[in-house]
């Protein structure tokens, strides 16, 4: 049994397979999953698990060198959640963010029901 870190077997396996430059999406429960993109659906009910809970677990387990959020998120709480965790955040229109998700190596659906609580992450390396 693992001592710490991500316990969900499917998520743990997917994170372990990521490499430098791979794209990972952490999404609210409303963002559509593009056809053909591997996804792990963590949503139980609205609000469970929270976007921030999943993002924090992911950040504790993997290295990310960049992130992109929707321009529309800037006017809501989701922008703060992202800027608290990343020094630099790129912003694009929500329609463009949805298009970026098609290149994801992993898509994580949370139970978050806050508008625009979505982020596209680019994997880095720990060295």
46: annotated active-site residue? no
Question: Is the predicted pLDDT of residue 2 greater than 90, yes or no?
Answer: no
pTM: 0.96
Q: What is the pLDDT of residues 46-69, one digit of tens each?
A: 999 999 999 999 999 999 999 999
Confidence band for 15, pLDDT divided at 50, 70 and 90: very high
- In order, the DSSP letters of 16-38 are HT--TT-EEEEE-TTSPPPTT--
Any long-range contacts for 95-99 (C-beta under 8 Å, 24+ apart)? 97/68, 97/69, 97/70, 98/31, 98/32
CATH classification code of 9-123: 3.40.1650.10
pLDDT given at position 121: 98
- Average pLDDT along the chain: 97
46 belongs to an annotated ligand binding site: no
User: Which of 10, 17, 20, 46 is the catalytic position?
Assistant: 20
94 belongs to an annotated ligand binding site: yes
78 belongs to an annotated ligand binding site: no
Task: Give Cα separations from 52 to 42, 59, 111, 127 (angstroms).
Answer: 13, 10, 11, 26
Listed by start position, the domains of the chain span 9-123
Q: What is the mean pLDDT of residues 66-88?
A: 97
28 belongs to an annotated ligand binding site: yes
């Amino acid at each position: 049994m693992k001592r710490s870190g991500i316990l969900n077997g499917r998520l743990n396996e997917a994170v372990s397979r990521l490499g430098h430059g791979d794209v990972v999406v952490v999404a609210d429960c409303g963002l559509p999953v593009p056809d053909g993109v591997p996804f792990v659906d963590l949503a139980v009910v609205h609000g469970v698990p929270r976007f921030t809970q999943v993002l924090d677990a992911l950040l504790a387990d993997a290295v990310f060198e960049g992130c992109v959020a929707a321009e529309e998120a800037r006017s809501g709480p989701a922008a703060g959640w992202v800027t608290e965790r990343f020094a630099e955040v790129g912003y694009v229109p929500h329609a463009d963010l949805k298009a970026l998700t098609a290149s994801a190596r992993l898509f994580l659906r949370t139970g978050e029901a806050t508008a625009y609580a979505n982020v596209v992450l680019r994997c880095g390396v720990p060295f």
